Amino acid sequence: MLDMRLYMAQRLSAMAMGPFVLVHIAVMIYAIQGGLSASEILSRTQGSVFWFLFYGLFVVAAGLHGAIGLRVIAHEMLGLKGWSLGAITWGFGIGVIYMGARAVMAVTGL
């Protein structure tokens, strides 16, 4: 169920997510220890193109990676194929990216 392109998309999205996760956790710890309130954090992220790109790409990578992984599980464990397999792959991927995009837009105001 994984051809070359899906395999590469999954590996590359995993590679991208590695640093995203680390930076995300580091910033969380830094922000909490500095005692920043939610509104103080938001005042720093609103309008920031950097955080928009950072979390925007993070969301796209997570959507891609999760959807391809779920596709494999759905095929191997549930025996889905063809139309239903495509529906679950695309549905999950688009769902994650849609929800993530809403969160990114709310946090950055862009």
Partner 1 sequence: MTAMRKITPSEDATGTTPVLRVSVWRGTAEGGAYEEFEVPQQDNQTILDVVSWIQQYADPTLTYRFACRVGMCGSCAMMVNGKPRWTCRTHVKKVTEGGALTIAPLRNLPVIKDLAADMDPFFDKWVKAGGHHHPSASRHDPMPVITSETPGRVEANAGIECINCSVCYASCDTVAGNPDYLGPAALQRAWTLYNDAKEADREAVLDRVSGAGGCHNCHSQGSCTLYCPNELDPLSAIAGLKRASAKRFFKGGR
Alpha carbon of 63 to those of 33, 90, 93: distances in Å?
A: 30, 10, 5
- Mutual angle of helices 49-78 and 82-108, in 10-degree steps: 160
Could you tell me the smallest distance in angstroms from the CB atom of residue 8 to partner 1?
6
What is the C-alpha to C-alpha distance for residues 98 and 63, in angstroms, rounded to an integer?
9
Could you tell me the smallest distance in angstroms from the CB atom of residue 53 to partner 1?
24
Structure tokens at 70: 């779920």
Nearer to partner 1, 12 or 26 (CB): 12
- Kindly list the residues in this chain that would bind partner 1 in the complex (CB under 8 A): 1-4, 6-8, 11, 72, 75-77
What is the C-alpha to C-alpha distance for residues 35 and 10, in angstroms, rounded to an integer?
37
Nearer to partner 1, 67 or 97 (CB): 67
Could you tell me the smallest distance in angstroms from the CB atom of residue 3 to partner 1?
5
Nearer to partner 1, 6 or 110 (CB): 6
